[in-house]
Structure 1
Amino acid sequence: MGLFDSVLGAISGNQGQSAQASDPKAMLIQAALRMLTSQSATGATGATGIEGGLSGLLGKLQAAGLGDAVSSWIGNGQNQAISPAQVQQALGGGHLEQLAQATGLSESETASHLSEILPGLIDKLTPNGQIPDAGGGLAGIESMLGGFLGGNKTT
């Protein structure tokens, strides 16, 4: 889980699997990444996926009136904060409930943690303002994050 540990450390400031096991934010980051990448090659979502992956999530956030915040996360500069209520409005009950079940948190705790996590997570997933191809799935995100975090690139 080296890549996940690197992402987790970059986003939340925690390091290592011991932090992962006891940190609800670490579990939520893992569940959110899984949700963003649980798509088939045709773009259909799995039971816990967000249609369109990262682009789909960004679309949901923008449709909920969070376009300025999303732009700040993707672009260079300081990330704009969002509230737990805005997360609940953007994701709706279904995705929030799935993340809560995956982490053992309540929906309100999940929304609260996501309001803290999403700006940094999306910032790390969109280096140089580039949104990775939704069809790349986990491998595409891992490849992009590996390069961003200084990991090995395959040639």
Structure 2
Amino acid sequence: MEIELDGPGAQASNPAPATPGCSFLSCIGSNEMSLFDNLKDALGGLLGQAADQAPGALTQALAGAGGLQGVIDKLQASGLGPQVTSWLGNGENLPVSASQLEAALGNEQVQQLATSLGIPADKVLAFLQQHLPTAVDQASPTGTLPPTS
């Protein structure tokens, strides 16, 4: 196949479909970008759905660990009161590190959560770091957790 790269008559022996306003090479680039954009949008939608479901899954997994209130109590007892207070309140959620969570919860609890969530133990702390603030925030729209029955 011969391709003429320059000039208004740029052609290939197997030409790409004609797209007004683009040369052979620029059309290839734009088609690749639209393909990547479509893939990114599709994956983003799936990941977004998973992220939306994460707080609920986390709340269920924490049931065996004394529930969300039990975990909050452990975090507050470990010196993470300001973070927990921010999650319960209406403002911005303060971050918490994986090492802070590990110190507060302990290895046994992390292992139990891994089993409940169905993810490897080495991923649990990153999952908690990302989703626990949102789970607490969503579970406490009035600033406090509802009483457990």
TM normalised by structure 1 equals 0.58
Alpha-carbon distance in structure 1 between the residues aligned to 2:48 and 2:112: 24
Cα pair 1:74 1:129 within 8 Å, conserved: yes
Q: Deviations over 1:61-106 (max 9, x none)?
A: 1011100000000011100000011111111112210121234433
Q: Which has the higher contact order (CA 8 A, sep 6+)?
A: 1
Greater gyration radius: 2
The residue that corresponds to 1:153 in the other structure is none
Tell whether the 8 Å contact from 2:75 to 2:104 is kept in structure 1 after alignment: yes
In structure 2, do the counterparts of structure 1 residues 129 and 50 end up closer, same or farther at CA, with 3 Å as the change threshold?
Answer: same
Are residues 108 and 29 of structure 1, via their aligned partners in 2, closer, same or farther at CA, if it must alter by over 3 Å?
farther
Separation of aligned partners in 2, 1:103 and 1:72: 25
The residue number in structure 2 matching 1:118 is 132
Partner Cα separation in structure 1 for residue 139 and residue 131 of structure 2: 12
Name the counterpart of 1:56: 70
Q: CA 1:134 to 1:29, structure 2 compared with 1: closer, same or farther past 3 Å?
A: same
Q: In structure 2, what is the equivalent of residue 80 of structure 1? A: 94
Indicate the percent of aligned positions where both proteins have the same amino acid: 36
Q: Which runs of 4+ in 1 moved over 6 A?
A: none
Greater helix content? 1
* Consecutive unaligned residues in structure 2, runs of 5 or more: 1-46
User: Once superposed, what is the RMSD of the aligned Cα atoms?
Assistant: 2.3
Gaps of 5+ in 1: 1-12, 38-48, 136-155
Q: Does 1:71 align with 2:85?
A: yes
1:85 is paired with a residue of what secondary structure? helix
